[in-house]
Amino acid sequence: MKVSVQSDDFDLSTEVIDISMNTRTGAVASFVGVVRDIPMTLEHYPGMTENAIKKIVEEARTRWQVLDYAVIHRYGDLQPGDQIVLVAIASSHRADAFAACQFIMDYLKTQAPFWKKEHHPEGARWVNALEADDEAAARWKSLKQPQRLVQK
Amino acid sequence: MKVSVQSDDFDLSTEVIDISMNTRTGAVASFVGVVRDIPMTLEHYPGMTENAIKKIVEEARTRWQVLDYAVIHRYGDLQPGDQIVLVAIASSHRADAFAACQFIMDYLKTQAPFWKKEHHPEGARWVNALEADDEAAARWKSLKQPQRLVQK
Amino acid sequence: MKVKVLLFANLRERIGQSVEVVDIPDSASTVAGLRIHLMQRGGAWQEILSDMKVVRVAVNHDMAAANAPLNPGDEVAFFPPVTGG
Amino acid sequence: MKVKVLLFANLRERIGQSVEVVDIPDSASTVAGLRIHLMQRGGAWQEILSDMKVVRVAVNHDMAAANAPLNPGDEVAFFPPVTGG
């Protein structure tokens, strides 16, 4: 049950092991976002950002079985290849773990207060919000009520 | 580009770092299956099992952008809390990474030659194939052609 | 009454500051009222707050609409659409 | 002609062996032919191979149907539906 907004790097295995202690855990889905080819600076809104992430996680927990979770988002200066974000979900069932993980990532992209400045060779520029991300988040709204996918 | 069927344990971070070297990688989705409350023995078919997994991965690569991957499945005696299976997919886009990872897991459950024997207090018994797993794999067949989901 | 105004990302850079305590008249005690009050300063304030399509507002860490009321001591943040992860 | 027969999981346990080289008549040179040949041994062989709904067959590491032809030296595996991961 961990939400952290931090400048420090993180270790995926450590986080996954931490959330896998429950004996009902059979499935852990996780996601790591990585900086591609452009160095960037990530700005956040201390306090609000953590709260927004917690709300996203609570929304996911009303929809799917989540036994434990870790969400870590970094801020500050990041270089190509650096880890940016981690979402890890432990569940009894893999369909729940995957769905909750993907849901949280889609919402993180559109709801959590982070702003990305890319440092291109020709100068720095703030990244504009992408419609594709809004669409990815919006498709969850068409699920009219909390539902579980086919699962095992 | 790793497929391994092994009795040894594995480390998620190590595998994810190994497949994240490509500078186009922006997203790594991964899954770890964990033994729940019953000790088990997993049997496989050396040779065929590796080949079946490779076919599953190649099928995924025709459908989604997969820059690199690691699939590890253990066999032998496993205790509650032990890791059983790892699927990690590196892509430029998170929707591709998630879809390929979930697709491979669904097919692993139904197509790869593994047989699970659970050691219950009252005795050992072979597990029967579950319809839910067949359904999870079958839903991919309704995607009539390789497609990409909304992505970033 | 006084509210705390925060700016983030390109808004922060264009104004050249990240936080300011602003004394607003009672008639400006909504998000929209505060926005108009700040735009009347002209210059970069006028510019960055004129297109509300690309400016989001949060009051005390919750996203807020234009008609949201303001109270003394509230923390009001202006920022562009988010681009996380 | 000779083929190598492999058994896995509960099939292996019920027969009590995992591999055997079997000499089959030319008239049995399909998956179905081999199956009938083995069932004629009676006992556990008859039992485990009688319900093909719960027995899968692979020839040389590829899943095979009943009418798949067999050639000398082929590796034919019988096993239950898989239950991996």
Average pLDDT taken over every residue of chain D:
93
pLDDT at C39 (0 to 100) = 95
What does the pLDDT look like over D38-75, one tens digit per residue? 999 999 999 999 877 789 999 999 999 999 999 999 99
pLDDT at B147 (0 to 100) = 43
Kindly report the nearest CA distance between residue A64 and chain B, in angstroms.
16
Q: Tell if the CB–CB gap between B115 and D82 is shorter than 8 Å.
A: yes
Q: Is residue B146 part of a domain?
A: no
pLDDT at B136 (0 to 100) = 72
DSSP assignment of A12-35: HHHHHHHT--STT--EEEEEEEE-
pLDDT, mean of each 10-residue run, chain C (85 residues): 96 94 92 95 93 88 94 96 82
Chain B environment of D6 (Cβ under 8 Å):
45
Kindly report the nearest CA distance between residue A139 and chain B, in angstroms.
9
Q: Tell if the CB–CB gap between B85 and D85 is shorter than 8 Å.
A: yes
- SS3 letters across D38-79: HHCCCHHHHHHHHCHHHCEEEECCEECCCCCECCCCCEEEEE
Lowest-confidence pick of A50-64, A85-99, B33-47, B125-139: B125-139
Average pLDDT taken over every residue of chain A:
90
Structure tokens at D58: 């692979």
Number of domains in chain A: 1
pLDDT at A149 (0 to 100) = 42
CATH no. for residue D28?
Answer: 3.10.20.30
With cut-offs at 50, 70 and 90, classify the pLDDT of residue D34: very high
Instruction: State how far the alpha carbon of B29 is from the alpha carbons of A69, B72, C8, in Å.
Output: 15, 14, 30
CATH no. for residue A107?
Answer: 3.90.1170.40
With cut-offs at 50, 70 and 90, classify the pLDDT of residue A133: low
With cut-offs at 50, 70 and 90, classify the pLDDT of residue A128: confident
Q: Is residue A93 part of a domain?
A: yes
Three-class SS state of D5: strand
pLDDT at A135 (0 to 100) = 65
> Taking 80 as the threshold, does the pLDDT of residue A140 lie above it?
no
- Beta strands across the sheet bearing A27-34: A2-6, A68-74, A83-91, A27-34, B27-34, B83-91, B68-74, B2-6
pLDDT at A152 (0 to 100) = 35
Task: Name the interface residues of A facing C (CB cutoff 8 Å).
Answer: 33, 42-43, 45, 47-48, 51-52, 73, 84-85, 105, 108-117, 126-130
Q: Is residue D84 part of a domain?
A: no
pLDDT at A12 (0 to 100) = 97
DSSP assignment of A78-120: E-TT-EEEEEEEEESSHHHHHHHHHHHHHHHHHHS-EEEEEEE
Task: Name the interface residues of C facing A (CB cutoff 8 Å).
Answer: 6, 8-10, 12, 58, 61, 77, 79-85
> Taking 80 as the threshold, does the pLDDT of residue B9 lie above it?
yes
Q: Is residue B150 part of a domain?
A: no
Number of domains in chain C: 1
Provide the residue range defining the domain that includes B107. Answer: 2-141
pLDDT at B95 (0 to 100) = 97
Q: Is residue D56 part of a domain?
A: yes
Q: Is residue A146 part of a domain?
A: no
Provide the residue range defining the domain that includes D48. Answer: 2-79
Q: At which residue do the structure tokens 């890319």 appear?
A: A118
Touching partners of D (3+ C-beta pairs < 8 Å)? B
Highest mean pLDDT (candidates A127-141, B90-104, B109-123, D18-32)? B90-104
ipTM: 0.87
Task: Name the interface residues of D facing B (CB cutoff 8 Å).
Answer: 6, 8-10, 12, 58, 61, 77, 79-85
pLDDT at B100 (0 to 100) = 98
Q: Tell if the CB–CB gap between A23 and B36 is shorter than 8 Å.
A: yes
Q: Tell if the CB–CB gap between A112 and C10 is shorter than 8 Å.
A: no
Q: Tell if the CB–CB gap between B152 and A139 is shorter than 8 Å.
A: no
Q: Is residue D16 part of a domain?
A: yes
Q: Tell if the CB–CB gap between C83 and A73 is shorter than 8 Å.
A: no
CB B11 within 8 A of CB B30: no
With cut-offs at 50, 70 and 90, classify the pLDDT of residue B41: very high
Choose the mutation target among B35, B48, B126 for the interface with D, i.e. most D CBs under 10 Å: B48
Which residues have C-beta within 8 Å of that of residue C82, sequence separation ≥ 6?
Answer: A109, A110, A111, A112, A113, A114, A115, A129, C56
pLDDT at C53 (0 to 100) = 75
pLDDT at A27 (0 to 100) = 97
Chain A environment of C8 (Cβ under 8 Å):
43, 45, 113, 115
With cut-offs at 50, 70 and 90, classify the pLDDT of residue B138: confident
Q: Is residue A129 part of a domain?
A: yes
- Tell me what percent of the residues of chain D surpass a pLDDT of 90: 87
How many CB atoms neighbour CB B124 within 10 A? 13
Which among C15, C45, C10, C7 has a CA at the least distance from the CA of A116?
C10
Q: Is residue B124 part of a domain?
A: yes
Q: Is residue C84 part of a domain?
A: no
